[in-house]
Amino acid sequence: MEAKENGASENAGRVMDGPTNPMVTPLLTDLYQFTMAYAYWKAGKHNERAVFDLYFRKNPFGGEFTVFAGLEECIKFIANFNLTEEEISFICESLPGSCEEGFFNYLREVDCSDVEVYAISEGTVVFPKVPLLRVEGPIAVVQLLETPLLNLVNFASLVATNAARHRLVAGKSKMLLEFGLRRAQGPDGAIGASKYCYIGGFDATSNVAAGRLFRIPLRGTHSHAFVSSFMSPDEILERSMCSSDGSSTCEDFVSLVQSWLNKIQWSKSLSGIFGETNQSELAAFMSYALAFPNNFLALVDTYDVMRSGVPNFCAVALALSDLGYKAVGIRLDSGDLAYLSSEARKIFNAVEKEFGVPGFGKMSITASNDLNEETLDALNKQGHEVDCFGIGTYLVTCYAQAALGCVFKLVEINNQPRIKLSEDVSKVSMPCKKRCYRLYGKEGYSLVDILTGENEPCPQVGERILCRHPFNESKRAYVVPKRVEVLLKCYWPGKSDKVREELPALKDIRDHCIKQLEQMRPDHMRRLNPTPYKVSVSAKLYDFIHFLWLNEAPVGELQ
């Protein structure tokens, strides 16, 4: 893909590649980040050291967990952050003419070499109010990063969470395919969805570009149009097929299939089920099998699943079996998937028995019609024989909730903690540069996340720790952790001498995510009325938040 290659060549000599999408540049930000940068610069305030937290306030999809994703793209963006001359002249023409030239000279020097980023590992299960990223640096620079970081994290985490939710409903044994490219919100809405659904537990995608960029396994066979583009078996001219082991050649695969179709139609155990099947469908299946004898998977619902698609499939699959090939299975794209999959399975079992073809009953059944969490759940309740789900629209557009509301809040400037108040308590920000820990109980489940001030000691295993609700004074609990996990790690050290965490491979992020999901207590993860996971603050941080709150809040006057 040109995009990626250009990105890579531009970055030659740099430590790290840029973001996947070359459109992710420092201009992918809100104009007000540049007007503010100018105002900071004009006030001589642009290099003041600020700390911002990126977090969300509410889990999506009515659930009680979120999968954090998008970090790799954020770090690649930060690593390559600087403005080209051409970008600077566009900013110059977009700001009022009164802006001083000195500012644009300043922009020429701007990069993230003095920015420090701490973050939770990508693929981790996360909760409201816990900082996913903590970004510290010169205030003007960090503000320029706000919008692109939010853009890169919001959808990534949303769609990874959606994928994880689909996986939880489908169960571990099912194959899950992401088929959303055509309905996604734009080209990289699609490419991003493919990447982050893979992290959230999907097995493969139909999106070739995503397969190439991220080495995600690809899946796909044929569409209804392929079936309707054929008229009848007469148009198949090249009919010979070599046997699987190369030892012989069947000169007329079409006749072989037709003889099988005949046997099926007259079979006793299937008696009376099948009449005339559709000939254009039969021709399409034969052509597909001639092209892919080892990968024959047929879409069986173009005309009529049980009267045409399934018998046509069985005839082709049996003919392939004669030549030593094993057909893969069928795909259902409409109708009652529970009923049709069960009926198809009965036929496969009957064919196995009647014609003595071992394994025929285990033929794979894929389903793919506007599926989502609810329909998967309904299918489970009805009982079905589907092995593999292809999920598109509802998955990749996050139809049930199309946005995650991550925010980026100033928590400290020049070592002074800052709080953003709101009449809505859930919108009050958590001041101070903070550390974050996850405390685990004796059963291996995580019990609570706790935020502390930067200078407080790390909670110790076996220690009795008071965990307080940040805004409700009556909610608090002592916890004696069996294990303490440091959540925020250094992914971009800036000028500090911290060691930078390596960005893991996509497969490792996926494995981490799957393991994380398994480690959660099941009642946090269930679809109906899940238990909220607790996020707490240390006693010291609690006191400080409330001191600051009282200090900042105006005292009302009732009139």
Kindly identify the residues of this chain, within the stretch 519-538, that bind a second copy according to CB under 8 A. Answer: none
Kindly state whether residue 101 participates in binding a second copy, applying the rule CB under 8 A: no
Give the DSSP H/E element, type plus range, for residue 277.
none
> What is the x/- site pattern for a second copy, positions 28-67, by CB under 8 A?
xxxxxxxxx-xxx-xxxx--x-x-x---------------
In this complex, which beta carbon is closest to a second copy, that of residue 402 or of residue 458?
A: 402
Kindly identify the residues of this chain, within the stretch 232-251, that bind a second copy according to CB under 8 A. Answer: 235-238
In this complex, which beta carbon is closest to a second copy, that of residue 91 or of residue 448?
A: 91
The answer to whether residues 386 and 337 touch, using CB atoms and an 8 Å cutoff, is: yes
Q: Cα dist. 490→278, 346, 431, 483 in Å?
A: 62, 56, 20, 21
Best CA proximity match to 227, nearest among 290, 303, 337, 132: 303
Stretch of 6-14, 110-118, 247-255, 261-269 contacting a second copy, by CB under 8 A: 6-14
What the block records as the tokens of 427 is 């919108």
Cβ atoms within 10 Å, residue 273: 17
In this complex, which beta carbon is closest to a second copy, that of residue 15 or of residue 237?
A: 237
Cβ atoms within 10 Å, residue 556: 6
- Pick from 15, 225, 499, 528 the residue near a second copy by CB under 8 A: 225
Kindly identify the residues of this chain, within the stretch 165-184, that bind a second copy according to CB under 8 A. Answer: 179, 181-184
- Which pairs with CB-CB distance under 8 Å and at least 24 residues apart come from 377-384? 377/169, 377/527, 378/338, 379/337, 379/338, 380/169, 380/171, 382/338, 383/338, 383/342, 384/337, 384/338, 384/341, 384/342
> What is the x/- site pattern for a second copy, positions 314-333, by CB under 8 A?
--------------------
DSSP symbols for 310-354:
HHHHHHHHHHHHHTT----EEEE-SS-HHHHHHHHHHHHHHHHHH
In this complex, which beta carbon is closest to a second copy, that of residue 48 or of residue 456?
A: 48
Query: Nearest distance from residue 497's CB to a second copy, in Å?
Result: 27
In this complex, which beta carbon is closest to a second copy, that of residue 113 or of residue 147?
A: 147
Kindly state whether residue 25 participates in binding a second copy, applying the rule CB under 8 A: yes
In this complex, which beta carbon is closest to a second copy, that of residue 408 or of residue 437?
A: 408
Kindly identify the residues of this chain, within the stretch 366-405, that bind a second copy according to CB under 8 A. Answer: 393, 397-399, 401-405
- Pick from 66, 143, 516, 536 the residue near a second copy by CB under 8 A: 143
The distance from CA 330 to its chain's CA centroid, rounded to whole angstroms, is 27
CA distance 556 to 559: 10
Kindly state whether residue 94 participates in binding a second copy, applying the rule CB under 8 A: yes
- Pick from 106, 303, 339, 544 the residue near a second copy by CB under 8 A: 303
> What is the x/- site pattern for a second copy, positions 401-440, by CB under 8 A?
xxxxxx-xxx--x--x-xxxxxxx--x-------------
Query: Nearest distance from residue 382's CB to a second copy, in Å?
Result: 19
C-alpha torsion sign, points 319, 322, 324, 330: positive
Q: What are phi and psi of 465, to 5 degrees?
A: -115, 130
Kindly identify the residues of this chain, within the stretch 460-499, that bind a second copy according to CB under 8 A. Answer: none
Kindly state whether residue 105 participates in binding a second copy, applying the rule CB under 8 A: no
Query: Nearest distance from residue 131's CB to a second copy, in Å?
Result: 15
Kindly state whether residue 362 participates in binding a second copy, applying the rule CB under 8 A: no
- Pick from 8, 62, 102, 231 the residue near a second copy by CB under 8 A: 231
The answer to whether residues 513 and 67 touch, using CB atoms and an 8 Å cutoff, is: yes
Query: Nearest distance from residue 404's CB to a second copy, in Å?
Result: 8
Kindly state whether residue 128 participates in binding a second copy, applying the rule CB under 8 A: no
Kindly state whether residue 8 participates in binding a second copy, applying the rule CB under 8 A: no
CA distance 412 to 417: 4
Helix H, strand E, coil C: the string for 210-262 is: HHHHHCCCECCCCCHHHHHCCCCHHHCCCCCEECCCCCCEECCHHHHHHHHHH
- Pick from 14, 62, 90, 444 the residue near a second copy by CB under 8 A: 90
Question: Exposed, middle or buried by CB within 10 Å (0-12, 13-18, 19+), for 383?
Answer: exposed
Q: Give the angle 99-104-105 at the CA atoms, nearest 5°.
A: 130
In this complex, which beta carbon is closest to a second copy, that of residue 418 or of residue 468?
A: 418
Amino acid symbol at 88: I
What is the DSSP-derived secondary structure letter of residue 502? P
- Pick from 14, 105, 223, 442 the residue near a second copy by CB under 8 A: 223
In this complex, which beta carbon is closest to a second copy, that of residue 161 or of residue 536?
A: 161
| Helix pair 101-109, 85-94: axis angle to 10 deg | 140
> What is the x/- site pattern for a second copy, positions 190-209, by CB under 8 A?
xxx-------------xxxx
Stretch of 89-97, 486-494, 507-515, 530-538 contacting a second copy, by CB under 8 A: 89-97
Applying CB under 8 A, the site for a second copy has a residue count of: 132
Q: Across the strands, what pairs with 178?
A: 205, 391
- Pick from 157, 161, 308, 372 the residue near a second copy by CB under 8 A: 308
Query: Nearest distance from residue 109's CB to a second copy, in Å?
Result: 19
The answer to whether residues 298 and 281 touch, using CB atoms and an 8 Å cutoff, is: no
